Structure formats: C-alpha cells, structure tokens
Amino acid sequence: MLNAIEIAPKVWWVGGLDWNERQFHGYTTERGITYNAYLIMDEKVTLIDTAKATFTDEFVQRISQVVDPAKIDVVITNHVEMDHSGSLPKIHELAPSATIYASAPAGVNEIRAHYGIEVEGVKTGDSLSIGERTLHFVQTPMVHWPDNMVTWCPEDGILFSNDAFGQHFATSKRFDDENDLAEVMKQAKKYYANIVWPYGAQVQKAMGALAGLDIKMIAPSHGVIWRSNIPAILEKYQAWSTYQTEDKAVVVFDSMWHSTELMAREICDAFIKEGVTAQLIDLKHTHISDIMLYMCDARYVAVGSPTLNSNMMPTVASFLTYMRGLSPNNSQRIGIAFGSYGWAPLGPKQVEQAMQDAKFEMPVPVITQQWIPGEEKLAEIQDTVKKIIEDTRA
C-alpha cells in the first residue's frame, strides 16, 4: 500500500510521484514530476485535484489508506490540465454522488470538453462549507490556463495554490524544509521561467488578491509544499512576475568551426572582467529550457550564430523561438547579437532582427566577423562589452 502523508491535522497528501519523467511540453524535468492532490477529512470528505491518468492507481491507493474513495463528498478541480485532472473520471466512477467544483465558466466548460462530466461552477468570492472548514475560491485565469483558480482554507492557513509556486521536482519529502532549499528554489525558478513567465501581469493580480491572508502553508500542484520559506518564495514571485533583473549575463551560441565560439568566450570573459556574473551556454550541450533558468533574471543576453545556408543555425533559431514564445518583458534586458560568416553575415543579422522583435534593448549593432576573429577583433569585442556595461551602470 502506498502511503498517504498527513501534512496538517486531517489534511493528507495523496498525489503521485513520477520519478522518471524527463520532459514536459518541451521543458526538461531532470528531477521528475510530482502530481499533488490533497484530501481533507471533514464532515464532507473533500478532495482537491487528482493526478495524471497514468498515476490513477497510485493516487487511489493513497486515498484508500485514509478513507474509502466512495465516501468522497466534494471534489475541487483547481485546474483542468490533464496532469492535474487525469484521474477525475476514475474518482467520478468511484464516488458518483460527489459534487465536483471548478471555476466558472472556463473550468466547467473544459471539464465538459475533456471528460463529459457536469460540474458546479464557482467564482472569486464564492465559498463552500465542508464542516469545520470553509473553503474560499479565487480565480487566477491564465496562471497558466483560463480555468485556473486557487482554494484557500483559513482554518488551516493552507493555500492550495495550483500551478503557482510549484516545481517539477519528485522527492520523497513533502516539505520545503525537508529538502535542499537551493535545489527547491532552482526548480521553482525553472518552473516559473518555462511555464508561468508569460503571465507576469496575471501573477501580479493573483498575488494582489491573496495579499493579507495569514498563510501558514502553500500546497501547490507540483513539487514540495512550502511551510518554512513562504516569504522567500513570495519575494521571488514578486521579482519574477515584475521582470526584475540582476547584474548577470547569459551568452548563448552555436558554432561550426569555433569562430563564433571564440567571440562568445570573449564576450563572456568581458562580462566577468567587469564584475558581472556570466554564464556561457553552448546550444549543442544545453537544453533551451535550462537556458531560461539562467535568463529569468539576467540583465544582459548575448546570442551568437554563424551563417549556415543563408540562415542562423537551427539551434539558435529554436532557442530564440522558444524564448519569444515565453514572452519575457525584454525591455529591461540588454541584448547583444553576434556571429561569424564566410560569404555574408546573414545568420548574425537574423539573430539581431529576432532580438529586436523580442524587444531587447540593443545598444550596439550586430557584432560580426568574417572567417576567424584575430586578437584585434577580440580586443574590440572586450571594449564593446565594457562600454555597454559602463553605459548601463551610468
């Protein structure tokens, strides 16, 4: 029998642990995924969210350790995406008289479209008494689907936060303070950068709606539950959702015969020399979703490509396309486009255009080199980067 875990008196974690998953919508999940669901034992037995369909048996076993699933009275669906709701049909089968609640109208319509199940709709300000507890609902649309909402339980001080504050991180320990906090924060940042980043304005609205709550625990749909480091993760979400940057640089490139690589290394070294924390990233060796982890709070982003068949390298194009799809507010970021060429600097110029389209501030024209950069060119690159940093700090 798989163990349920009591996270507060009469509140149980009953989710699933996906130790081996390594990909989610094009984003690498090197530490696996947790599908969190929560069971509240009150006058009305209440289930908050379910699990991915492939984890239905594991999920039901954990519920069964606490209560017969047929005795579930209420199901709250905070989000209809299938990694959250995939086991809902099984719960509906096991507890056919349970009332299912979702946000109105989006959640109601999405459950109907996915599973053909009729549910009750709730909106911000609605509440539901389940006995000793009253659950309160706050819609958080586009964090990160139209149906998203969170559920607040004031009696326990628990915010069931859905995707907000989550991490793709499989661990046998359920709480932030039971795990390596640096790893938890890293995975929270990567999750935000690859899933939530496009919706900074909506995150700000959601945080505003939750302001003033006496939160003792944040129980997200993925990863660990926050109880000791709540101020820290709230502070990070405030910074990330307002696109705040730090004195950091990310230098991203691909290269064929090392000319663009030489330029990338010179740019990276120039940042380091000026006291700017820098990360050199070769696209042949680093997944684009990992780059977003570094880019999330970087003030400077340099992207380089040689020319291949009159275009930028496909790896560079893929990164720029992925980055632009996440819609980061790049107006606060300094961009540098660079690269080498043989016949014509078409690849580097395409990089420059893509970065302009993504709204980077571009203080200098694209830096190009025909064939191989010599010492004079590399020194010129150093001087250019130094000047950009000086102007930024002025």
Q: What is the pLDDT of residue 81?
A: 93
Q: Which pLDDT value is given to residue 1?
A: 57
Closest by CA to 302, choosing from 342, 270, 256, is: 270
pTM: 0.92
43 burial type by CB count under 10 A (0-12 exposed, 13-18 middle, 19+ buried): exposed
Going by C-alpha positions, the residue among 192, 134, 130, 170 that lies closest to residue 15 is: 170
Structure tokens, 236? 């990070």
What would the two tokens of residue 20 be?
């081996």
Catalytic residue set? 25, 79, 81, 83, 144, 163, 191, 222
Q: What are the residues facing 300 on neighbouring strands?
A: 249, 334
pLDDT tens digits, 220-267: 999 999 999 999 999 999 999 999 999 999 999 999 999 999 999 999
User: pLDDT tens digits for 94-130?
Assistant: 999 999 999 999 999 999 999 999 999 999 999 999 9
200 phi and psi angles, rounded to 5 deg? -55, -45
* Residue numbers of the chain with a pLDDT score lower than 50: none
Q: Which residue in 215, 92, 69, 64 sits closest to 154, CA to CA?
A: 215
Give CA separation, 217 vs 59, 116, 177, 299, 364, in Å: 22, 34, 12, 32, 47
What was the pLDDT predicted at 265?
A: 97
Of residues 154, 294, 168, the one with CA closest to residue 215: 154
Q: What is the DSSP letter of 195?
A: I
Cα–Cα distance, 363 to 260 (Å, whole number): 20
The values of phi and psi at residue 288, to 5°, are -60, -30
Residues 149 and 139: beta-carbon distance below 8 Å: yes
The gap between the terminal CA atoms of the chain, to the nearest Å, is 63
